[in-house]
């Protein structure tokens, strides 16, 4: 079985959570800015 995954670059309306390191949509931003951004799941 072969797995095909399409990888796309991070979009302008997305950020990387500084705790879980997942790329999230800006609507999931709980607090922070830039390198200190934290998603709602980690807050």
Domain spans in the chain, listed from the N-terminal domain onward? 12-43
pLDDT digits (tens, 9 = 90+) for 2-37: 999 999 999 999 999 999 999 999 999 999 887 899
- pLDDT for res 35: 81
Residue 31 three-state SS = strand
CA separation, residue 34 to residues 7, 23, 26, 38, 39 (Å): 22, 13, 12, 10, 12
Flag whether pLDDT at 41 surpasses 90.
yes
Write the CB contacts of 36 (distance below 8 Å, at least 6 apart in sequence).
Answer: 18
- pLDDT for res 40: 97
Buried b vs exposed e over 4-22: b needs ≥16 C-beta within 10 Å? Answer: eeeeeeeeeeebebeeeee
Looking at the whole model, is its pTM more than 0.75?
yes
- pLDDT for res 5: 94
């Amino acid at each position: 079985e072969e797995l095909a995954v399409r990888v796309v670059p991070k979009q302008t309306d997305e950020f990387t959570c500084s705790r879980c390191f997942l790329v999230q949509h800006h609507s999931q931003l709980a607090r922070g800015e830039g390198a200190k951004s934290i998603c709602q799941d980690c807050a």
